[in-house]
Amino acid sequence: MMKIAIAGIGGVGGYYGGMLAKHYANSEDVEVYFIARGENEKAIKQNGLKLETKNGSFIVHPKLVTSNPNEIGIVDLLICCTKGYDLEQSIQQLMPCINSNTVLLPLLNGVNSAERIRAILPNNEVWDGCVYIVSQLAEPGVVKETGNPPRFVFGCKTGTDKKLKAVEKVFTDAGITTTLSDNILQAMWEKYLFLSPSATITSYTNKTMNEIAASDEYKKLLRQLISEIKPVAEKLGVLVPTDAFERTVDVMTKLPAGATTSMHRDFQKGKATELDSLTGYVIKLGKQFGIAMPTYEMMYEELKRRSR
């Protein structure tokens, strides 16, 4: 029996948790638990989680949904889908689900989540993972997925091969497009090279992806951000395509009308944001490597001023 808990049932946790809960609803081999809070927990307890995808809608019921990790107990795999600014606090709250054999897999925006978890749990396996998905919690108990077909990439150079392959099979069998990567740093940064500039510029300008891609003024700012993050990635050994800017604009152009980043949505709602993970961390690395980042710094200072 593999016991899996998903912490944070929002756009990402709701989609992947929902797909797992659907496939393993009557399984004797895999149990799926949701850790949710507030109105979301209440709605899922009463009606299940409704997952609206491009391939249809369905309602799933996990083994248990709760805000109290003590009710779940120790799990084999803890998938963390909370917001980056809550990560350390969330891990402390999730300790009742963790022992020395528990594998932790953060699916957060940013590239340093596993590093932050290892600082708290140095003796646990902490894998890296990233997802390519456009989804959001439309209302309590309802997750809506749009955009291109979702993809899930994960890996860990020091992870137990047997465990990595077992989780790959669990996700693949649930109908999730899954890649077990032997170079997860490259995979993580390929996404981050899109997400960090996109989140920063959409939040700074208060414009959608389509609006950025359609404006020469905003594209100039976007090009500057990409030109500043590129040498940072290369210092880490990441291969950055020469046409990174063109690829980013192409992706933005093809996204559904009104699509934006989760950080931009959080700024619009006046909520706490992932500014430090998606913008500030780049500047931190830039200072470490002696790389000038004037555009990033200018936008970061303005966004900090707007933050809660």
Question: Model confidence over 84-108: pLDDT tens digits?
Answer: 888 999 999 999 999 999 999 999 9
> Which one is the CATH code of 186-306: 3.30.70.20, 1.10.3720.10, 1.10.1040.10, 3.20.20.70?
1.10.1040.10
Alpha-carbon dihedral of residues 167, 170, 175, 176, nearest 10 degrees?
-20
Contact 194, 251 (CB under 8 A): yes
Does 44 have pLDDT greater than 80? yes
What is the per-residue pLDDT for 225? Answer: 98
Give the pLDDT confidence score for residue 146 in this predicted structure: 86
Instruction: Provide the strand spans (E) within the chain.
Output: 2-7, 30-35, 49-53, 56-60, 64-66, 77-80, 103-106, 128-139, 142-155, 178-180
Q: Is the pLDDT of residue 21 over 90?
A: yes
Domain parsing of the chain, residue ranges: 2-181, 186-306
Architecture of domain 2-181: 3-Layer(aba) Sandwich (3.40)
- pLDDT the model gives residue 284: 97
For residue 296 the two structure tokens come to: 């990033």
- Residue 276 confidence (pLDDT) above 90: yes
Predicted pLDDT of residue 84 = 85
pLDDT of residue 308: 67
Residue range 218-222: mean pLDDT, rounded? 98
